[in-house]
Amino acid sequence: MKRGKAERRIRVLLVDADVDLRNNIESYLAMQQDIQPVGVTGDGAQALALASSCRPDVVIVDSMLPLINGLALLSRLREARGGQSAAFIFLVSDGCDAVFREIVGSGADYCMVKPVNLFDLAHQIRSVSKARADIGSYRQIASSVLREMQMRVHDDGFEYAERAVAILLKHQGRAMRCKSVYILVEEETAGICHDAGKYVENDIRNAIRRAHRLRAPFYCEVLGIGDSPDERYPTNSVFLSSVVQYIRTHYNLP
């Protein structure tokens, strides 16, 4: 009997100084049909080299690594991969709120307190991997809509607006202030766009102004405005929320 093509497994890099914990996690993950450990180390510097060669989808990292700690590793991997980092799950010994806020605020996808439940860890690996895949799909949709609205593709403002829309789509049902979105865009685009983050808000605003001057029919449709030259250009918040609402409605997204 001919077997169908196997689905791609989630590639995981495990970085933890505790040898016993490392071995237990690796053995458990290796038994999962949809997860593949592609690198295991207790050293942050070696993790940088491994990430470059094995291209993980998810990095499980000890927050208290020697020499290069978990947050430094996250930052350096993100820079090395041009902003297209894997999802990060941090393993922490201290489960206080302040530690969680610092780690998640630095761009991690999830935190778990040691000793970890291996079943829960596998579940979170699947969850954060899917979320990363979803955000890529959202960016494709956002890009298509913004292009049709006649935003200039080669502007940094287009890149920032595309990512901002994708972030808002990902955080469905959660109200987000524009300032928070700009910070997330800054984290994503470090190493991609010149002076990323410093000009996120202004570059999006300038891209909107240029598109507003053209007033393409689709632009007016998405924003619900007329084509009068006296029509004031929308704020960043109004523009982004209008695009998100249009996508949710016309692409049947939650």
Same domain flag for 142 and 245: yes
196 in a structural domain: yes
CA distances from 132 to 196, 202, 246 (A): 21, 27, 22
Q: Are 78 and 191 in contact (CB under 8 A)?
A: yes
Which CATH number characterizes residue 62's domain? Answer: 3.40.50.2300
Q: How far apart are CA 204 and CA 193, in angstroms?
A: 13
Closest C-alpha to 194, from 157, 235, 150, 151: 157
Which two structure tokens, joined as six digits, stand for 62? 């000890």
Please list the pLDDT of the chain residue by residue as tens digits (254 residues). 334 445 678 999 999 999 999 999 999 999 999 999 999 999 888 888 888 888 888 999 998 887 788 888 887 876 665 445 688 899 988 767 777 777 777 778 888 989 899 999 999 999 888 877 777 788 888 988 999 999 988 877 898 999 999 999 887 666 778 888 888 888 777 655 555 556 889 999 999 999 999 999 999 999 999 877 778 889 999 999 999 999 988 877 76
Q: Is residue 124 one of the residues assigned to a domain?
A: no
Hey, is 233 helix, strand or coil? coil
Question: Which two tokens mark 178?
Answer: 């524009």
Side chain identity at residue 213, one-letter code: R
Segments forming the whole domain that contains residue 34: 10-116
Q: Are residues 234 and 157 in the same domain?
A: yes
Assigned domain for 127 exists:
no
Domain boundary among 116, 148, 174: 116
222-251 burial code (b ≥16 CB/10 A, e <16): bbebeeeeeeebbebeebbbbbbebbeeee
**Number of independent structural domains in the chain:** 2
